[in-house]
Structure 1
Amino acid sequence: MENFYLFVVMCILLILLPGPDTAIATKNTLTVGRTGGFKTIFGTCCALLIHTLAAVVGLSAIIVKSAMLFSIFKYVGAVYLVYLGVKTLWALRSKNTTPEIGSENKYEGKSCFKQGFLTNLLNPKVAVFFLTFLPQFVDSGSETFLPFLTMGITYTLLTAVWFLFYIYLLNQISAFMKKPKTQRIMEGITGIILIGFGVKLALEKAHH
């Protein structure tokens, strides 16, 4: 493996860029509380490990090279993101009162992991990322199994560390974030962002 430290720096910069994972983590932290945020990120990291294994065994390459498979993943992922966004906005409309952060109900707590998991797993751009980014740090013609596995796990761990910090900060940032009006505004924004990411993903072209 070449330039591992450069790989780590690049990973950190990419992880800091807001995406669907950040949007869903923000939504669940604000609506369910810190525990909901942690469950969401646990789901995200589990999906990243599956993407890592897929890259190692070459399944990602099949998905990227097959326009049909890529399209299936793309549209299913896009529909799911739009569904989450619409669901968030609809929940705002139907709410009479906004619960305090941390007052999670059983359904929301259980669905946080699923939302984080599916949002990441159904995003074919993650598979494309692993296949186009990871090989740049491996010697040409060398064995890729261990380097890919190491880099995938490293990326997952860095993602987990950043989001644990992000969720803790979001939950503790001040009483301002816990005000019902602020929560409604933030939920509305993240709902719109999720729909936007879903539409953007649906319009994404396959790379060959």
Structure 2
Amino acid sequence: MTLTDSLVSYTFAITLLTLTPGLDTALILRTAASEGSKKAFQAAMGVNAGCMIWGAIVALGLGALLTASELAFNVLKWVGAAYLCWLGLQMLFKPRNQMAADSAADAPLKKSSNGFIKGLFGNVLNPKVGVFYVTFLPQFVASGYPVAAYTFGLAMIHVLIGTVWSSTMIAATRPLSRWLKRPAVVRNMDRLTGLVFVAFAVRLATSKR
């Protein structure tokens, strides 16, 4: 994959994923509505910090693993393709009607008055973020570039897009909150994201090192 192909396809996919309402979106909107814009922005920065931590962990691990082993590359490729396909099919055929609800793991965080801590631990303690990064990021590494550095760079693009989207949500909390909570919006975003995930699963499965 060339550098241009990598960046364009990844940016499209990760932007769509970022716009799809999920736990992070719910946290930021809820914080903005109940505690104000400042706390919501802190929560958004906490979410971004969590993504950076996951990005660093995944980048270092993948960089060492994929450089050392052809078998590891192939195993990760097929596991990643299967996982993305499963996620995509779930979103296509069982789309949600509402934004993700709070998980049990989030309960202790509600008592914290620090928006950054809420966002950080809500993200870091969510293993799905790490699993997603492990399965999603490797397929976008451009040929001829160091795996670890490039993977972390992709995570930083996610952080940048997330910052822009979070700032937009916070600046327009009420209208965006109402729009994002509409069942039709949630369903259609899930289906569109699911379709993209299935397409990338096929792409990953047919890719070569």
Does TM, normalized by the shorter one, top 0.5? yes
Could you give the per-residue CA deviations for residues 103-157 of structure 1, whole angstroms, max 9, x where no partner exists?
Answer: x63448558934433322222xx2143362625xxxxxxxxxxxx6555545534
The CA distance in 2 between the partners of 1:192 and 1:108, in whole Å, is 27
**Structure 2 length-normalised TM:** 0.58
- CA deviations over 1:12-53 (Å, ceiling 9, x no partner): x64982215642563125444346866665554444323421
Deviation at 1:175, TM superposition (A): 3.0
Quote the residue 1:105 is aligned against.
102
How far apart are the structure 2 equivalents of 1:177 and 1:130? 33
Residue 82 of structure 1 corresponds to 89
TM-score, normalisation: structure 1:
0.59
- Tell me the equivalent position of 1:132: 143
**Matching of residues 1-208 of structure 1 within 5 Å:** 14=8, 17-20=11-14, 22-24=16-18, 26-28=20-22, 29-34=24-29, 41-42=48-49, 44-59=51-66, 62=69, 67-83=74-90, 89-90=95-96, 92=97, 105-107=102-104, 109=106, 110=122, 113-123=126-136, 126-130=137-141, 132=143, 134-135=145-146, 152-173=151-172, 175-179=174-178, 183-204=182-203, 205-208=206-209
Are 1:40 and 1:117, in contact at CA under 8 Å, matched by a contact in 2?
no
Please give the alpha-carbon distance, in whole angstroms, between the structure 2 residues aligned to 1:37 and 1:22.
18
**Which residue of structure 2 aligns with residue 144 of structure 1?**
none
The 3-state SS of whatever aligns with 2:20 is: helix
Structure 1 43/79 Cα, relative in aligned 2: closer, same or farther at 3 Å? Answer: farther
State percent identity of aligned pairs. 7
SS at 1:118's partner residue?
A: helix
The number of residue pairs the alignment matches comes to: 176
The 8 Å contact of residues 23 and 194 in structure 1, kept in 2 or not, is answered as: yes
Secondary structure of 2:12's match? coil
2:180, 2:155 → 1: CA distance?
Answer: 34
Shift of 1:178: 2.0
Distance 1:68 1:39, change over 3 A: same
Q: Distance in 1 between matches of 2:188 and 2:53?
A: 26
5+ residue gaps, structure 2: 30-39, 107-121
Post-superposition shift, 1:68?
4.7
Task: Tell me the amino acid that sits aligned with residue 102 of structure 2.
Answer: N
RMSD over aligned CA atoms reads 4.2
In the alignment, the residues of structure 1 paired with residue 182 and residue 12 of structure 2 have an alpha-carbon distance, to the nearest angstrom, of: 19
Q: Which amino acid aligns with 1:207?
A: K
Distance 1:119 1:186 in 2: 23
Cα offset, 1:191, TM superposition = 0.7
8 A contact 1:80–1:198 mirrored in 2: yes
Conserved 8 A contact 2:59-2:149: no
